Amino acid sequence: MIITDTHTHLYSDAFDADRSEMIQRAIEAGVTRFFIPAIDSAYTESMLQLEKDFPEHVFLMMGLHPTSVKDNYKEELGHVEAQLASRSFFAIGEIGIDLYWDTSTLGIQVDAFTQQIRLAKKYKLPIVIHCRDAFDEVFEVLESEKGPDLFGIFHCFTGTLEQAKKAISYNMKLGIGGVVTFKNGKIDQFLNQIDLKYIVLETDSPYLAPKPFRGKRNESAYINKVVEKLAEIYNVTEDEVADVTTENSKAIFGI
């Protein structure tokens, strides 16, 4: 069984004590591809080191996370552009809008999100969307930028069935992780109404560990718990979940 973790923060300081061992555990559990989202320029060197240490397994994104959109965001977007011009990446992400932590930056978050979508189109790359307390605002930007050259993943999808269908209408796959195993996660109640061809797997580690690890540090090996839950929801084998979602990720990332 080959599994793809489409969203994991392997550079997080939560893994400083055992990063290599943690990654090896995941590889032994069948997780052979790790897609690494960017946050801001402070993480670039750590991301490049990960790629150097695990060249057959680690695939990098580039972008500016919405919670890092501050007064210097234009400078940070300049860093994103410089990186994209200097080498290849597999996606622009994670980008989007986050109104959970700060609503005062909505205007510049929208600007940064829009500019990065246009960079994705320029480089013919998918986008990986971060959306927290901001579905309406994210959809408004997607509506203004929609087209055959807009595609990607709605990371850590936690919305309603209606919102899931709307995301898919913009050529997005749904990134499903540990939340699907939560009693109050709710997405497990309707996910079987969404074709598996629109689903990709993720951990968002070290965050959002699935049951029975909820509340603890998440790691990529725990994605097997997400596979188990999706097999139950869709009434298919775990192998089928792994195979279909990995093929979906290949279609998005081009590998």
Average pLDDT over residues 209-231: 97
Residue range of the domain that includes 238: 3-253
| Of 35, 217, 235, residue with least CA distance to 126 | 35
State the CATH number of the domain containing residue 221.
Answer: 3.20.20.140
Give pLDDT, residue 1.
83
Give pLDDT, residue 36.
98
Average pLDDT over residues 148-162: 97
Kindly tell me if the per-residue pLDDT of 255 is higher than 90. no
Average pLDDT over residues 29-45: 97
Contacts of 140 (CB under 8 A, 6+ apart): none
Full-prediction pTM beyond 0.85? yes
Share of the chain above pLDDT 70, in %: 100
Q: How far apart are CA 32 and CA 23, in angstroms?
A: 9
Kindly tell me if the per-residue pLDDT of 39 is higher than 90. yes
Q: How far apart are CA 133 and CA 141, in angstroms?
A: 15
pLDDT category of residue 4 using cuts at 50, 70 and 90: very high
Per-residue pLDDT of 162-191, as tens digits, reads: 999 999 999 999 999 999 999 888 999 999
Give pLDDT, residue 232.
97
| Of 84, 155, 89, residue with least CA distance to 115 | 84
Q: How far apart are CA 138 and CA 158, in angstroms?
A: 14
Work out the end-to-end distance of the chain between its first and last CA atoms, rounded to an integer number of angstroms: 18
Per-residue pLDDT of 76-100, as tens digits, reads: 999 999 999 999 999 999 999 999 9
Per-residue pLDDT of 237-246, as tens digits, reads: 999 999 999 9
How many domains does the structure of the chain reveal? 1
**Residue 14: is it exposed, middle or buried by C-beta count within 10 angstroms (0-12/13-18/19+)?**
middle
Q: How far apart are CA 47 and CA 36, in angstroms?
A: 7
Give pLDDT, residue 108.
98
pLDDT category of residue 43 using cuts at 50, 70 and 90: very high
Dump strand ranges (E) for 31-100. 31-36, 58-60, 92-98
Query: What does pLDDT average to over the chain?
Result: 97
**Residue 146: is it exposed, middle or buried by C-beta count within 10 angstroms (0-12/13-18/19+)?**
middle
